[in-house]
Amino acid sequence: MGRHIAVIAESRGTELRQSTFEALQAAVQLAEFSDSVSVLLIGTNLEARQEKLLKTGLQALYVVEDEASTPYEPDYALQTVKQWYDNVKPDVIIMGHTAIGKDLAPMLAASIDAGQISDVIALSPSQKGVLFKRPIYAGKAFESKSFAEASPWIITIRPNNFTPLQELPASMHCGSAEPVVVKLTPPKPSLRSVVTRVVERISGSIDLSEAKIVVSGGRGVKSKEGFKPLEELAEVLQGAVGASRGACDSGYCDYALQIGQTGKVVTPEIYFACGISGAIQHLAGMSQSRTIIAINTDPEAPIFQIADYGIVGDLFEIVPLLTAELRKA
Ligand code: FAD
């Protein structure tokens, strides 16, 4: 009998977050012959999400449908997941290193006495067992860790580092068999706190931490209006707008856009750093981006040391030129 690897799905509104499918990819990479993969889905109005997950060929899907599950409340989530764990006893649990994953995983690890490795960006089998690679010291170094115990393991994976899984490989696919959908009764949790209201600061825009392209502005944008050309470039590229803390502190944009050590961590395919000097605290949130394009008037700006492409020049000239050319394409 192989191990049971379970993914905890995460939703944003009524949609499954990309991190769910990235976690499934990590599950497949981790799995050996005869291991099985399942998903736990919690929320309300779950039919469409359930269908999307089953399309991957899952053999088992655990569902908790409960009004009380939204918005996210730590006590509720922990007690629900703990109840599922006690019933199902997976050997490995994987979730996204998202705000929810960062909150829930350590609480769960403590409550089920599991080992946890967080913020994983890659995993590879080795003689010492599976090695999990993760950035440390705000991205200045990487470490590889493995679990000392056989199970249970909890792993959180950094968004945008695993290709979202479309379909499970044949050995884990349910094939022509009916997938098992287990509806679990929601717990009657005892809550120490309740969320009374959630105010969304930015709605309708692409989620910054999952965006494939991020156009970020720093203090060099000089004003709120200075972000306009960046927003236009992001729109053409179907990307999201981000910012340095310098730009946020100067009141040019909302703190929800802040990228870095004390902001969001992003790993897009393309990261534009416009008028950003490249302080270490900013790099902590974006240095793992696949391609970094820096635009800065100062040829000595530290951002050029990590940029794949550097343009020395005024962002107010270069960004609109880029946008105009891309519009033609
Ligand atoms: P600056 O350093 O002022 O750089 C502005 C850049 O714009 C300059 O390089 C300049 O040459 C360029 N420029 C000016 N005009 C133009 C133009 N027209 N066209 C092109 N380029 C132009 N920072 C973060 O970003 N994220 C964090 O999470 C974060 N956390 C922190 C935590 C701690 C504990 C501390 C102490 C600091 C933190 N910081 C963080 C702040 C960080 O140290 C820097 O102060 C900040 O990143 C600087 O922002 P900036 O690059 O936009 O501004």
Closest CA to 157 of 24, 286, 282: 24
pLDDT digit string, tens, across residues 203-245: 456 788 889 999 999 999 999 999 999 999 999 999 999 999 9
Q: What is the C-alpha separation between 239 and 134, in angstroms, rounded? A: 26
64-122 residue pLDDT tens: 999 999 999 999 999 999 999 999 999 999 999 999 999 999 999 999 999 999 999 99
Distance from residue 160's CA to the centre of ligand 1 (Å): 24
| Those residues with Cβ within 8 angstroms of residue 286's Cβ, 6 or more apart along the chain or in another chain | 214, 216, 242, 259, 260, 265, 266, 267, 271, 273, 292
Dump strand ranges (E) for the chain: 4-8, 11-12, 15-16, 36-43, 60-65, 92-96, 115-120, 122-126, 129-136, 141-145, 153-157, 180-183, 213-217, 240-243, 270-274, 291-296, 309-312
Encode pLDDT of 135-192 as tens digits: 998 778 999 999 998 899 999 999 989 999 999 999 899 988 889 999 999 988 889 9
What token pair was written down for 168? 């499970």
**Residues 254-264 pLDDT 10s:** 999 999 999 99
Ligand 1, closest atom to CA 316?
Answer: 18
For the segment 27-36, the average pLDDT, to the nearest whole number, is 90
CA 282 – ligand 1 centroid, Å: 7
pTM: 0.84
List the single range of 46-60, 187-201, 225-239, 300-314 with lowest mean pLDDT.
187-201
Closest Cα partner for 273 from 207, 320, 219? Answer: 219
Task: Pick from 216, 230, 276 the residue to mutate for probing ligand 1's pocket: most ligand atoms within 8 Å of its CB.
Answer: 276
This model of the complex carries an ipTM of 0.99
- For the chain, the distance separating the N- and C-terminal CA atoms, rounded to the nearest angstrom, is 54
CB 32 within 8 A of CB 2: yes
| The pLDDT of residue 202 is above 70 | no
**Segment 39-49 mean pLDDT:** 97
Residue 309 has pLDDT above 60, yes or no: yes
DSSP classification of residue 164: P
Q: Say how many Å lie between the CA of residue 277 and the centre of ligand 1.
A: 5
Q: What pLDDT, on a 0 to 100 scale, did the predictor assign at position 194? A: 87
Contacting residues for 114 by C-beta, under 8 A, at least 6 apart: 93, 108, 151, 152, 153, 154
- Tell me the binding residues for FAD: 219, 244-245, 258-262, 275-282, 296
Residue nearest to atom 33 of ligand 1 (CA): 281
